[in-house]
């Protein structure tokens, strides 16, 4: 290993703030080009998703091992009790207590290990017992949490895990209210983790315990500071060496560092900082090249002259730099990148919040098809699978906490919200896809003292925990542009529904943005939400703006809305990012509009992921590099007016159309919209066919409309 001499250093600005103690570290730049690395894995993770018993009521004594749960329902996690009643309207879905229990035999070979019970997400408050022993309570419905079960669960024998969950309204926990269903249950994965007594810390807000801070990232070199939080649960002092290894996708070591041996007393911890340099790094470059290294931290127990690897944590590392300029918007690795994307909820028809990994992959496949390069993870911490997929696929993320609508002026609410932010940051610190940390959305009391005191504290937490990323906030449509709530963060998003809830879709958004940019030239402005509802079974030719709360939401208006919005947004490079609302229809049990009770229908894909609405293809024609040729109003199959319009979205230069065989001629377009006005249908079936040549290949789309 090459590099500078070993030295002592106190690191600042890493995850978790100033390190508590000095750490002996070594620095290195490029390691031997011939060296390869495969990380061993002394940890054990056991899936505990199968075999639960569940009842949707509060039951006395259900935490006791001998409790009879034979009459309860058999379920597997992820599970929610609101998948159906939370999406059928009426705002009367069950909000109360549910109990989960399961038996589990811990493998005898795990004797002597430290054991942790991990929950990836439980909404909203979870109380957990093991063999009748109370392990603790977690508040907040979206973040991962762990409880130590060492000495509580026995190895080689039967154990009973009991979990009491409630999604009852609680004014001490954010969110108190929001425009979506608060589904109850253990809706993400459950697992048992086993680690050595000498290990990377497991209870640092359930984060990885290894934090990768990158700096001075260029095509020539990059610096990575690896902060490792150690813990010694052995009953004696240990001598410890920490080795950090960064390897490329082929396993070639590109940098490494190792500490000298140092002592760690029993039942104590330490933080170790190591700085390495990487020469000629391959950058994580968004959709174009989302390249990932791996960073592995080995914990060596060298007590008594031996060398035993006690623990290893491996995290993926994407090296990139970013900036937002008030005039030129977002930049990735020094180059301008117009961020355009979606707002994403973690919910789908029939399953609610209890989504599988395959469900998450399908959602990100649709994002890739659309051509989005950015996602706002509304309005809370998402499953780790989403962040991993974004890392792998090169999407830029806005991650945020569930501070929505209102603030409770109480110590409990403040503490809970701050805790949720720390959990979000610690658990997701190493994801290269995350660029923005969001501290809130549409708080109605935008100039209130309690609101702004809390927001200021959250912005300060981001500066302390992760000063390299950008804090942001989503301003409510109705709020003044200079409302105090929107002034705490480095960059700002605005939720603007001109042409849906108020105003006009034609020109008003651009005029508003230009005025704000002119009046506040130093502000970094993004559009965090915009959208309109659409029912794929409702249709009209060039309809006027529907009533947002009404039953008539024709699909064609949503298309006209997004056409107008995107043209205004694309023409303004100073807008650092745009996120339409929303990628998918989602459950909001208090809504009853667009002919569908319990559903927010602003998605560009239906709740069941079966139909891509017309507006989906408008963005695909503008954003995706894949060939697009799509006839709109295709689901309007039964017609009563003979004279209609043919409209096509395509990224071709020219599109040719026929109606029932005879040609309608060719059209060229500078805005990806191709129109044939006043075509006349004949009684009965009519076949419309369009063709185009894109990148040297011929594509065809066809629809059948029947005139009664």
**Mean of all residue pLDDT scores within the chain:** 95
pLDDT band with cut points at 50, 70 and 90 for residue 18: very low
DSSP result, 139-150: E-SSS-EEEE-B
Indicate if the pLDDT at residue 12 is higher than 50. no
pLDDT band with cut points at 50, 70 and 90 for residue 40: confident
What percentage of the chain carries pLDDT values higher than 70? 95
**664-684 pLDDT, tens per residue?**
999 999 999 999 999 999 999
End-to-end CA distance of the chain: 80
Helices then strands, each counted (H, E), the chain: 7, 42
Indicate if the pLDDT at residue 199 is higher than 90. yes
Over range 318-323, report the average pLDDT.
98
Over range 116-137, report the average pLDDT.
98
Between helix 357-370 and helix 384-393 the angle, nearest 10°, is 40
**3: closest CA among 22, 27, 21?**
27
**325-376 pLDDT, tens per residue?**
999 999 999 999 999 999 999 999 999 999 999 999 999 999 999 999 999 9
Print the SS3 string covering 696-707: CEEEEEEEEEEE
Fold entry, domain 45-199: Jelly Rolls (2.60.120)
Residue 308: what pLDDT? 97
**352: closest CA among 181, 504, 145, 478?**
181
Over range 451-464, report the average pLDDT.
98
- Report how far residue 73's alpha carbon sits from residue 78's, in angstroms, rounded to the nearest whole number: 14
Indicate if the pLDDT at residue 32 is higher than 70. no
Catalytic (active site) residue 547: no
Indicate if the pLDDT at residue 155 is higher than 80. yes
pLDDT band with cut points at 50, 70 and 90 for residue 295: very high
Q: Say if CB 378 and CB 401 are below 8 A apart.
A: no
* H/E run at residue 621: helix 614-623
Q: Which two tokens stand for residue 9?
A: 């250093």
CATH 2.60.40.10 fits 638-707, yes or no: yes
Burial (Cβ within 10 Å: 0-12, 13-18, ≥19) of residue 213: buried
The residue whose two tokens read 């491996």 is 314
**659: closest CA among 699, 687, 690, 629?**
687
CATH number listed for the domain at residues 7-30+210-317: 2.60.40.10
Residue intervals of the chain classified under CATH 2.60.40.10 are 7-30+210-317, 638-707
- Report how far residue 122's alpha carbon sits from residue 54's, in angstroms, rounded to the nearest whole number: 14
Residue 15: what pLDDT? 38
> Which one from 183, 423, 442, 563 is the annotated catalytic residue?
442
Residue 701 C-beta-side C-alpha neighbours within 13 Å: 20
Cβ contacts of 61-65, under 8 Å, gap ≥ 24: 62/99, 62/101, 62/162, 62/164, 63/129, 63/132, 63/134, 63/162, 63/164, 64/132, 64/162, 65/131, 65/132, 65/160
Residue intervals of the chain classified under CATH 3.20.20.80 are 373-495
3-class SS at 551?
A: coil
Best CATH choice for the domain 373-495 from the list 3.20.20.80, 1.10.357.10, 3.40.50.300, 3.30.300.30: 3.20.20.80
Q: What is the largest CA-CA distance in the chain?
A: 92
Q: Say if CB 118 and CB 76 are below 8 A apart.
A: no
C-alpha separations of 1 from 4, 136, 213, 257, 284 in Å? 10, 45, 21, 8, 26
Indicate if the pLDDT at residue 625 is higher than 60. yes
Print the SS3 string covering 209-255: CEEEEEECCCCCEEEEEEEEEEEECCCCCEEEEEEEEEECCCCEEEE
**169-196 pLDDT, tens per residue?**
999 999 999 999 999 999 999 999 999 9
Q: Which two tokens stand for residue 188?
A: 């993400």
Q: Say if CB 198 and CB 119 are below 8 A apart.
A: no
**442-454 pLDDT, tens per residue?**
999 999 999 999 9
pLDDT band with cut points at 50, 70 and 90 for residue 17: very low
Residue 419 DSSP one-character state = H
What percentage of the chain carries pLDDT values higher than 90? 95
**558: closest CA among 531, 518, 583, 597?**
531
């Amino acid at each position: 290993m090459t590099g500078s001499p070993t030295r002592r250093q106190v690191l600042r600005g890493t995850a978790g703030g100033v390190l508590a103690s000095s750490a002996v570290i070594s620095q290195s730049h490029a390691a031997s080009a011939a060296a390869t690395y495969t990380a061993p894995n002394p940890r054990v993770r056991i899936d505990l998703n199968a075999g639960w018993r569940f009842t949707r009521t509060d039951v006395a004594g259900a935490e006791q091992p001998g409790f009879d749960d034979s009459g309860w329902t058999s379920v597997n996690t992820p599970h929610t009790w609101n998948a159906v009643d939370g999406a059928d309207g009426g705002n009367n879905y069950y909000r109360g207590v549910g109990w989960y229990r399961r038996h589990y035999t811990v493998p005898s070979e795990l004797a002597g290990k430290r054991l942790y019970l991990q929950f990836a997400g439980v909404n909203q408050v979870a109380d957990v017992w093991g063999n009748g022993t109370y392990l603790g309570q977690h508040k907040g419905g979206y973040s991962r949490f762990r409880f130590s079960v060492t000495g509580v669960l026995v190895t080689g024998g039967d154990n009973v895990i009991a979990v009491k969950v409630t999604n009852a309204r609680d004014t001490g926990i954010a969110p108190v209210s929001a425009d979506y269903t608060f589904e109850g249950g253990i809706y993400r994965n459950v697992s048992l983790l086993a680690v050595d007594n000498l290990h990377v810390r497991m209870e640092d807000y359930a984060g990885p315990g290894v934090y990768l801070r990158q700096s001075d990232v260029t095509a020539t070199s990059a610096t990575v500071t690896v902060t490792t939080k150690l813990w010694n649960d052995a009953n004696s002092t240990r001598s410890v060496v920490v080795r950090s290894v960064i390897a490329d996708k082929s396993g070639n070591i590109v940098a490494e560092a190792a500490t000298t041996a140092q002592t760690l007393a029993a039942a104590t911890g330490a933080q170790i900082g190591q700085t390495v340099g990487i020469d000629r790094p391959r950058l994580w470059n968004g959709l174009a090249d989302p390249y990932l290294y791996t960073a592995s931290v080995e914990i060596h127990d060298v007590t008594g002259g031996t060398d035993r690897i006690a623990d290893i944590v491996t995290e993926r590392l994407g090296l990139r730099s970013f900036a937002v300029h008030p005039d030129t918007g977002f930049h990735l690795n020094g180059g301008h990148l117009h961020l355009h994307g979606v707002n994403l909820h973690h919910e789908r028809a029939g399953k609610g919040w209890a989504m599988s990994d395959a469900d998450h992959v399908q959602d990100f496949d649709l994002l890739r098809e659309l051509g989005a390069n950015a996602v706002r993870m509304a309005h809370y911490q998402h499953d780790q699978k989403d962040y991993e997929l974004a890392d792998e696929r090169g999407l830029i993320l806005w991650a945020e906490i569930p501070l929505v609508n209102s603030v409770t002026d109480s110590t409990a609410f403040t503490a809970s919200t701050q805790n949720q932010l720390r959990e979000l940051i610690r658990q997701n610190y190493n994801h290269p896809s995350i660029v923005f940390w969001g501290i809130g959305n549409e708080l109605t009391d935008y100039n209130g003292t309690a609101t702004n005191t809390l927001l200021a504290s959250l912005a300060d937490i981001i500066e302390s925990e992760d000063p390299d990323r950008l804090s942001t906030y989503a301003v409510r449509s109705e709020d003044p542009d200079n409302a105090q709530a929107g002034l705490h963060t480095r960059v700002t998003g605005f939720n603007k529904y001109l042409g849906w809830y108020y105003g006009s879709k034609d020109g008003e958004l651009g005029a508003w943005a230009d005025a704000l940019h002119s009046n506040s030239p130093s502000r970094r402005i993004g559009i965090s939400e915009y959208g309109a509802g659409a029912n794929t079974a409702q249709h009209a030719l060039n309809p006027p703006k529907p009533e947002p709360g009404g039953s008539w939401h024709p699909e064609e208006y949503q298309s006209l809305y997004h056409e107008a919005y995107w043209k205004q947004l694309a023409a303004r490079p100073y807008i650092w990012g745009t996120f339409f609302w929303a990628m998918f229809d989602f459950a909001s049990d208090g809504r009853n509009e667009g002919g569908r009770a319990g559903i927010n229908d602003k998605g560009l894909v239906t709740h069941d992921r079966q139909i891509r609405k017309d507006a989906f293809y408008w963005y695909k024609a503008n954003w995706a590099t894949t060939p697009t040729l799509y006839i709109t109003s295709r689901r309007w199959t039964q017609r009563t007016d003979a004279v209609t319009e043919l409209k096509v979205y395509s990224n071709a230069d020219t599109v040719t159309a026929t109606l029932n065989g005879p040609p309608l001629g060719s059209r060229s377009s500078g805005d990806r919209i191709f129109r044939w006005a006043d075509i006349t249908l004949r009684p009965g079936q009519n076949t419309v066919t369009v063709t185009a040549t894109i990148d040297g290949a011929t594509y065809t789309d066809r629809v059948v409309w029947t005139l009664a």
